[in-house]
């Protein structure tokens, strides 16, 4: 992996260690409303490290194939030793959680926060648009409960930033989640992403999609 040296690239207005347009920078794009995010997150957190300069972004998208086929999703989850519990409103969007994730990503906390929120949603069937569900996920991060509540509000800066990110990602050829940029190449959709996950040190078994 070729990474830009410190100081070579300007930080974005949100403090990303790199820019979305720099093809050398690993990029992970996920939708917290999708069960496919839940299945991909563990190996992705080991593969694309924010501490090493990777960028994580939320992107609200239409339901992915496994969101519309719960039986197949459960079978896939079983092969990677994950249980699935479906949120009551699934596959409805989770805008508040996505805005909180946008804030987290701006602080280099995207992976840990998105991982925790996805586990709440699909590991426990929780509604991550509710503060009682998403706030506990932030206890071991740099985000405060007040910041998260403000970020989750309609009309917040982070709602606008989520929309701005969607436009910028679209300009890079990323129209929907999940997506991964790795070694300068784009991998669009879960099936494409699985071809790269073998490089992750994750202990999760290989993900095999139908």
Alpha-carbon gap, residue 108 to 110, rounded angstroms: 6
What is the model's pTM? 0.90
Average pLDDT over residues 133-143: 87
Average pLDDT over residues 82-99: 97
User: What are the residues whose beta carbons fall under 8 Å from the beta carbon of 74, sequence distance 6 or more?
Assistant: 84
- Say whether 24 sits in a helix, a strand or coil: coil
Alpha-carbon gap, residue 23 to 2, rounded angstroms: 10
Q: Which residue has the higher pLDDT, 90 or 18?
A: 90
pLDDT at 160: 95
How confident is residue 19, by pLDDT bands cut at 50, 70 and 90? Answer: confident
Report pLDDT digits (tens) over 97-113. Answer: 999 999 999 999 999 99
Which residue's structure tokens are 């999703």?
73
Asked if pLDDT for residue 82 goes beyond 90, the answer is: yes
Question: Residue 51 is encoded by which pair of tokens?
Answer: 């501490």
The residue ranges of every structural domain in the chain are 27-199
How confident is residue 162, by pLDDT bands cut at 50, 70 and 90? Answer: very high
Q: Which residue has the higher pLDDT, 6 or 106?
A: 106
How confident is residue 197, by pLDDT bands cut at 50, 70 and 90? Answer: very high
Under 8 Å between Cβ of 143 and 113: yes
How confident is residue 137, by pLDDT bands cut at 50, 70 and 90? Answer: confident
Question: Class for domain 27-199, per CATH?
Answer: alpha beta
Percent residues over pLDDT 90 in the chain: 84
In what order do the strands lie in the sheet containing 179-182? 55-58, 27-30, 179-182, 185-188
Among candidates 58, 56, 38, 59, which has minimal Cα distance to 47?
Answer: 56
Average pLDDT over residues 81-103: 96
Q: What is the mean pLDDT of the chain?
A: 90
Report pLDDT digits (tens) over 111-128. Answer: 999 999 999 999 999 999
């Amino acid at each position: 992996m070729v990474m830009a040296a410190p100081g070579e690239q300007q930080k974005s207005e949100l403090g990303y260690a790199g820019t979305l347009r720099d093809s050398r920078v690993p990029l992970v794009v996920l939708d917290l409303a999708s069960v496919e995010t839940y299945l991909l997150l563990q190996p992705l957190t080991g593969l694309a490290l924010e501490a090493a300069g990777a960028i994580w972004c939320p992107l609200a998208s239409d339901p992915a194939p496994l969101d519309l086929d719960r039986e197949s999703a459960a079978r896939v989850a079983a092969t990677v030793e994950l249980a699935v519990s479906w949120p009551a409103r699934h596959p409805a969007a989770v805008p508040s959680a996505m805005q909180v994730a946008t804030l987290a990503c701006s602080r280099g906390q995207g992976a840990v926060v998105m991982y925790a929120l996805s586990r709440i949603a699909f590991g426990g069937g929780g509604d991550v648009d509710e503060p009682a569900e998403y706030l506990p996920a932030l206890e071991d991060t740099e985000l405060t409960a007040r910041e998260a509540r403000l970020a989750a509000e309609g009309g917040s800066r982070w709602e606008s930033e989520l929309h701005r990110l969607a436009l910028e990602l679209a300009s890079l050829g990323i129209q929907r989640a999940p997506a991964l940029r790795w070694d300068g190449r784009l991998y669009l959709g879960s099936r494409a992403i699985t071809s790269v996950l073998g490089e992750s040190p994750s202990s999760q078994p290989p993900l095999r999609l139908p």
